[in-house]
A and B are shown apart, each in its own frame.
Chain A
Amino acid sequence: MLKRNPLVLGNKSLKDVTDDICAPIERVPSKEWMGLFLGAKGLFIFYILTIAMVISTGIGLLGVNHPVAWGTMIITFVFWVGIGHAGTLISAILFLFRQKWRTSVARTAEAMTVFAVATAGIFPLIHTGRPWLDFWLFPYPNQRGPLWVNFRSPLLWDVFAVSTYATVSSVFWIVGMIPDLATVRDRAKNVIRKKIYGALSFGWRGTAKQWSHFEMIYLVLAGLSTPLVLSVHTIVSFDFAVSQLPGWHTTIFPPYFVAGAIFSGFAMVITLMTLVRIGFPQFKNYITIDHMEVMNKIIMMTGLMVGYAYGSEFLIAWYSGNDYERYVFMNRAMGPYAWSYWIMVTCNVLIPQIFWFKKFRRSIPIMFVVSIFVNIGMWFERFVITVTSLHRDFLPSNWGQYAWSIYDTAILVGSFGMFFTIFLLYLRVLPAISIAEVKPVLNVGKEEDEHHGKGH
């Protein structure tokens, strides 16, 4: 029998666990955190101002044009939605599959999901020509006829998919946090703090009945979330796949998008976890190298999957015998945007191959760099899909280039400001590792160890 590594290092007692995890919430923030937070917040404010400019002046400030009518906002939207996938996958699917290693990363991965979806959710709203009328995208009872939405439009499916996903994953995240919030409440020495965490923990007292209910609801929510992991990005991919544009109209898109989403999501989890490990060294005992390695394996596997999709797209384009389809793919690899295609291939397919080597899978600096590359690559994947398909389609007279402007950069960079502002706040005010879930797995590796030893 293979030796199982302990999930929590450092011979932690139950109290240690609580102390370690609650520590960042209960102490004055470090200078480093303050620095990061102010930076992120500055970027966030810059982002808000950019959005205000775009909304007040017109979407024309960005590079979107004729023929490339979707650009940075849609690309970045898909990027952030994709990022969100790892969280739900870890917290829901791995939960259903009883993967115990998920416990220490689930909370933060899921927080990342919620924040990434929030960041993403802004884009479809502000990318429209008249954002103040975005409520028309929702089927609400109205006095305009009543005028109903077009249920045939993938964009509408998108509205439902993303809002459902945002709702369910936030509920799942918040519900999962209730016992931990109660712990923070119980440890609170300050009255206001007690009140706030008291309210957030919904009167949790930790009775057996409550635990029973809690575990049931957690299971149900996990069950609800699981199909969403697959459905959201499937539906996001429909935005493209249901259209009739060569390069978009592809049946491989749903699995390809889901794989890509998980790929990018795990890369972002790695990015964030390496940062968390640096910021809160005591977390190293909970988010161990083993955790990171497991996720790196997933990155490598999903990287191969997207690589397969890239290849398959070319094969099908050739096999279809369709001129337009063939041209689009040749143009991707060799046209004016070939650089973006090759960035994508390099970052998403080639670089993750380094994880075939255990040494690199377990090296924090290497995985950090790789995860950044994957994030870049996955942003470019959406760029390649959106821009290169649109910029040269059927009639050559329509051909054009995306008119990248400074606002595109501002929107892209600014969205990270939003994400990191929320994420950094989260690290400070909510338990970043699930106390209640880590405690039961404290003995995982150890038990087996002892057991193993006894056998001899």
Chain B
Amino acid sequence: MNNNENKIQSDNENRKIERDSTYWRSFEELNNTPEFQKSLQTEFMSSPLREESKHEGTEADGVARRDFLKLMGASIALTSAAGCIRRPVQKIVPYNKQPEEVTVGVSNWYTSSYFDGQEGLGLLVKSREGRPVHIQGNPKFPLNGTGASVKAQASLLGLYEPNRLQKPFRNLFNEKRTNKETVGVSWEELDAKVVESLKKGGVAILTGNISSPSTKAVISDFKAGFNADHYAWEPLSDDVASAQATSYGEAVVPGHRYDKAQMIVSIDADFLGTWGPTMTNNKRFADGRRNIDKMSRLVSFDSTYSLTGANADIRFKIKPSQQFDVVMGLIAEIAGKVSVSESVKTAVAPYNGIADKLGISSEAFKKVASDLVKNQGESIVVAGGIQTKTKDSLALQTAVNYLNSILGNDGKTVVAQAGNKNVTASYDQIKNLIKKMNAGDVKTLIIYRSNPFYSTSADLGFAEAIKKVSTVVFAGDKMDETAVNAHFIATDNHALETWGDTEFATGLYGIHQPLIRTMYDTRSFQLSLMTWAFMAKVGPKRIQEFETYYDYVRNLWKTELAAKVGGGKDFDAFWNGFLQDGFVGEVAAGSARTFKGDVASLKKTNSSDSAFELALYPTANIGDGTLANIGWLQELPDVVTKIVWDNYACVSLKTAEANKLREGDVIELTVGGKKLSLPTHIQPGLHDQVVAVAVGYGRTHAGDIAKGVGQNAYTLAQGDLLSGLPVEFKKTGDKIELVTTQGHDSMEGRQIVVTATNKDIEHKKDANIHRHHTWNIWSGHQYNGHKWGMAIDLNTCTGCSACMTACQSENNIHVVGKKYVMQGREMHWIRIDRYYTGDVESASAVFQPLMCQHCDNAPCETVCPVAATVHSSEGLNEMVYNRCVGTRYCSNNCPYKVRRFNWFNYAKLIEKPMHMHLNPEVGVRTRGVMEKCTFCVQRIKEGKNKAKMEERPLKDGDIKVACEAACPTQTIVFGDLNDENSRVAKVFKSEPRAYELLEEWYAKPSVRYQSKIKNNDEVTAKKGADHA
């Protein structure tokens, strides 16, 4: 209170209020008593700021009234603000007792692993306040390094899926097993019933590949206890391991050192997209090509348009039945140049000059052979995947093994010693199981991580055979196609709730740590086996003595495995180190093995002369279909076709024209009497006699998201044959709109992805880059502190799309569904553009990751009427969601069109408990605001804060943005351009291959691309005035 106010107050106190006594309201007023005087002065009792205790009755009106008005103003402001600002109304409560390790607002990273039946990855999982929210590759892990496949990253969503089962169930069937009722049971009841059945004998276990030593130990203990049989089968099994067994004596999928190879020949092995450890392969492949002066050459014989084919320097289109011809042809070509036995020479003689029959230029084919010979010991020939599951599959693999052996690759680039012995599941095993079930020898069948009801064709006879099994126990977390046919569902944990270990390469062990306590009343499969063994009192002691699977795992390590790799350390120290690093051991070095196979007698059996051949293939995002219910994967554009939410029959343009097919026309495929109707996709660069269809779609019981997405192509298989089958098709007249995220496949001659060949860059490293003269009429922004920038090497980008899922997970990007993608409303902040080059017949592909370019002269910033998108002092183009009104002018003015708009209130649609996957460091955008790549501003802040706390300057590499962190090939590099020594600054300053996208538009993007090099010994024809 100032003096003036004090004065007023004292004046008031001293002055008696004089009243006119003509009119009075009360006796008090009439008499003008002191009480009345007092009440007059305190007339406005309602003032909230009266200090009644202090100056009761004497408080001056002036002060109170003024404060009252202030308060009124404030409350009006508050009430009106409450009306239009979306404030959360729920209470939030901080930790009462802070758990150890957890600091609110700070993320913890734990090592863990992922295994999808094919590919094993060492991971880092980010946890915020006890919830796993993001998955990245473990950079130290010797195999995949930073790479985390889209499936591994998206498996996070599986944890929070509303369709997950939350407790054990039981299916009650009628006599014929045609009708059923699902009822919930207690674990006690289920265990009692299952054990009762197990005790009757005739126990079999069907699983997918098991890569965990502990799980294998539990299964073998269980087998010992119940005298059970174990069958391992994967729908995507091929014959690589079986052929290794016949050729070299041991079933293993060898480790392929694409980084050490100069010449890679892939015969339908999509090692970059879908076959084998794709992230490891991507990493190694890119390592072999990073140095453009000594980069490897990839030759692909492709019967589908695979990601590997898309990355090939030289791609040949073939049909599946030609795979064997190709390998034999190559052997025949090199037979004169490397030592080959006479019998083999005779055997391959008919394949001399096969190239012409395959429709391949024989000159090019000879060159492939001579390149192989030139790079003996530094080349790889590889075939694999279900695209090779033809009648000749085993012969093909044997021939490939032989070729690698005679080229001296075995032990150098094809390393069995560093291979994976845990991915040897095969169709033979499920066939044996079916035989046994048909014979009535199986009374109880336990199915774990396997879905044969969905992923086998009818003629394999699984569904018929299982009817003879009296008790089927299913361990899984979904009521899937197989679960609905099981008697008991021993609901399994999600992988992120389970302990485990891994062995993805012989001698290299990984840990699988759980990130969250089981969310529901579920129990791991391993603990179920342990419980049943315990209840039946059978099996070795260790399966019966532990209460949790964690104890079992730890015990196994303590007693057996630690001794192998622990190096004699104290176990607790070893164990802690193991958990911290995520792995122990190392990838073994290789040595050559003796080829024991018989090449001379290999005969081609599949001489189908059918007009069209079927090639089934998995996609990189959906794979075998297990994760089909995850929206991120369904909305992730196919790595090659860029189509989302569907599978389709790929045909070549010529075939389409001959049959009057247009994109989306439904055709009915007939394979050996089985029919399937699918929309047509016209795929450039496909063999004219191939119809390629992706498996993994058409799930009926995967959940709400996968329902109705595509058709189940497994049904077209003939038993264990998935490729090279004769197929006929006819147009049905229906049409299904195929939805792609990419509007146009050609660059229209524009400088978008600059491609040069190894010959082009011999003299001029920046070949084919047209530089523009640009100038400025204003001084530009000043960046005195940091200036963030990004460098993207298109030469190492394989288009694997891991960055897209990483971004989606990191930045809470919504999935909008097929209908809205069709309307152009997908929300991805980073996308991978794929352009075809060359003619349609033999289209070659290039990839380009595209995100907000954070332009220095950002066109979006100037046009926003409310200044909702602004330039930061560190060169970021910042999007202020709160301020955004949603005029969308910024998007119109963005030459890269990387901005995404919230057309609807997507956040409201997040079903519980899916909201738990949201990254708390990034806001969930409301309806009607624009959003886009922020260069992971939250990670920048985190990195800066960390450096500040540690009182040190920020180092290059401290901050890794999400896309960069997930990239297996280190294509994306993020850093400070003001730091002269940062990797980005070097690229910006001195990399000749670096260029700005749409440089002439002079938006001055903070992203530079490096041109793509095709190592194909050709010279790019010079265009005239190619580009303005």
Residues in A lying within 8 Å of B, measured CB to CB: 57-60, 63-70, 127-130, 132-134, 136-137, 143, 147-150, 152-156, 159, 239, 242-245, 248, 321-324, 327, 390, 392-401, 403
Contacts and interface: CB of A to CB of B under 8 A. Distances in A.
Nearest to A327: B748
Nearest to A153: B865
Contacts of B863: 152-155, 242-243
Interface in B921-941: 926-930
Interface of chain A, main secondary structure: loop
Contacts of A154: 863, 889
A147 B864 contact: no
A239 B864 CA distance: 11
B540 interface: no
A150 B866 contact: yes
A390 B892 contact: yes
Contact of B867 (A127, A149, A324, A396): A149
Given A153-B865, A244-B859, A397 B928 contact: no
B897 A155 contact: no
B824 interface: yes
B8 to A, nearest CB: 29
A159 B742 CA distance: 35
B1027 A395 contact: no
A106 to B, nearest CB: 34
A242 B893 CA distance: 9
Contacts of A323: 749-750, 1027-1028
Contact of A245 (B749, B893, B927): B893
A397 B743 contact: yes
A324 B998 CA distance: 11
B885 A130 contact: yes
A128 B928 CA distance: 7
B927 A396 contact: no
B1000 to A, nearest CB: 9
Contacts of B892: 69-70, 243, 245, 248, 390
B182 interface: no
A129 B865 contact: no
Contact of A399 (B744, B822, B896, B1027): B744
Interface in B997-1028: 997-998, 1001, 1027-1028
B895 A394 contact: yes
A101 B742 CA distance: 57
A397 B997 CA distance: 13
B901 to A, nearest CB: 7
Given A59-B928, A69-B901, A390-B892, A137 B742 contact: no
Interface stretch (B47-55, B478-486, B902-910, B911-919): B902-910
B744 A129 contact: no
Contacts of B1027: 323
A134 B862 contact: no
A66 B824 contact: yes
A132 B85 CA distance: 10
Most interface-central of A67, A70, A134, A396 (chain B CB within 10 A): A396
Interface in B813-850: 820, 822-826, 831, 833-835, 848, 850
Given A137-B885, A390-B892, A396-B748, A150 B897 contact: no
Contact of B896 (A322, A395, A400, A403): A395
B885 A149 contact: no
A58 B905 contact: yes
B862 A152 contact: yes
Contact of B824 (A129, A321, A400): A400
A322 B1025 CA distance: 12
Contacts of A395: 750, 752, 833, 850, 895-897, 997-998
B608 interface: no
B903 A58 contact: yes
Contacts of B345: none
Contact of A137 (B747, B834, B866, B888): B866
A399 B84 CA distance: 37
B803 to A, nearest CB: 16
B904 A155 contact: no
A128 B900 contact: no
B883 interface: yes
Contact of B904 (A57, A133, A324): A57
Contact of A400 (B743, B834, B883, B930): B743
Nearest to B816: A60
Contacts of B37: none
Nearest to B890: A69
A403 B891 contact: no
Nearest to B900: A66
A154 to B, nearest CB: 7
Given A128-B928, A399-B743, A399-B744, A393 B895 contact: yes
Contacts of A133: 84, 885
Given A244-B1001, A397-B744, A136 B891 contact: no
B887 A128 contact: yes
Contacts of B30: none
Given A66-B891, A128-B886, A244-B893, A153 B904 contact: no
Given A66-B824, A67-B824, A129-B901, A150 B865 contact: yes
A397 B835 CA distance: 8
Interface string B740-768: 00111111111010000000000000000
Given A128-B885, A394-B1001, A67 B897 contact: yes
Contact of B865 (A156, A243, A397): A156
A324 B834 CA distance: 20
B897 A136 contact: no
Contacts of B748: 327, 396
B867 A130 contact: no
25 contacts: A58-B903, A59-B928, A66-B897, A66-B901, A70-B888, A128-B887, A129-B886, A129-B903, A143-B77, A150-B865, A152-B863, A155-B863, A156-B865, A239-B889, A243-B889, A245-B892, A323-B750, A323-B1028, A324-B750, A394-B896, A394-B897, A395-B895, A397-B835, A398-B743, A403-B822
A57 B744 CA distance: 31
Nearest to B827: A66
Contacts of A403: 822-824
B884 interface: yes
Contacts of A156: 865
Contacts of A400: 743, 824
Nearest to B824: A65
Contact of B893 (A243, A392, A399): A243
Contact of B927 (A127, A130, A321): A130
Given A68-B824, A132-B84, A394 B998 contact: yes
A153 B77 contact: no
B897 A393 contact: yes
Contacts of B823: 60, 63, 65, 403
A327 B750 CA distance: 11
A104 B17 CA distance: 71
Contacts of B903: 58-60, 64-65, 129
A143 B77 CA distance: 10
B887 A127 contact: yes
B825 A66 contact: yes
A393 B998 CA distance: 12
Given A58-B903, A59-B886, A130 B850 contact: no
Contacts of B848: 397
B887 A155 contact: yes
A58 B897 contact: no
A59 to B, nearest CB: 6
Nearest to B1026: A323
B883 A153 contact: no
A171 B824 CA distance: 44
B744 A58 contact: no
A133 B748 CA distance: 41
Nearest to B77: A143
A127 B885 CA distance: 10
A149 B834 CA distance: 39
Contacts of A149: 865-867
Contacts of B904: 57-58, 60
